[in-house]
Structure 1
Amino acid sequence: MIGKIAYLLLGVVILFVPGFLLSFLVFPKKGSLDFWKRIATSIGLSALLDMLIITILAQPKLKALEFTPVVGSILIFCVACGAIIFLRKETRQPFLNFFKKPEIEK
């Protein structure tokens, strides 16, 4: 049971988080993407980033196309994007506001 949950969380990290973080770097302003467009963009960007990382790691000189180097490279990319988001003022606030509960206007 714990193994299935771990694979689910790892799948979310690999297939969603890199694109989500990159979408805040590419589209930093609050009104540039709404919630559903950002989710769709995140999935597409993650697929592209994963394929790019796998293509780079599959080079014959590297011989690093195994589970640990691929997941490690994706996690390093996520940490780098997260650091850039928090260092840039124009991306920090929209990223933090994305997780706040929206206020209902009357």
Structure 2
Amino acid sequence: MSKQTFGFGMALGALAGAAAAYLFAPQSGEEFQRDLKDKAQDTKNKAVVKFDEAVLGTEMWLDQKMADNEFNDEPIRYERTPENVAPAPDYTEAPDVFVEEESITD
């Protein structure tokens, strides 16, 4: 059994035990609803805190991995070589440009 599966089973068992304890406790419906609401709010807050901690831990891990990569620190170097530079035009004179004139007729 893996640690993750064990932890999930333990959390599920604790949740089922808490639900059973609330169901069998001698309380009025109003008290039960108030307690259930409070416990649900506490559980939500704890889940939000755990999620924020997980996100922060992931961000820190990712930042460390990005800092460890050598390719991020090395600048990009471009070289002008005949293979990657376009050749100059072959003509030496200005090209002829022909414009058709419109005839104006009345």
Does the TM-score normalized on the shorter chain lie above 0.5?
A: no
TM-score normalised to the size of structure 2? 0.32
TM-score normalised per structure 1: 0.32
The structure with the largest alpha-carbon Rg is 2
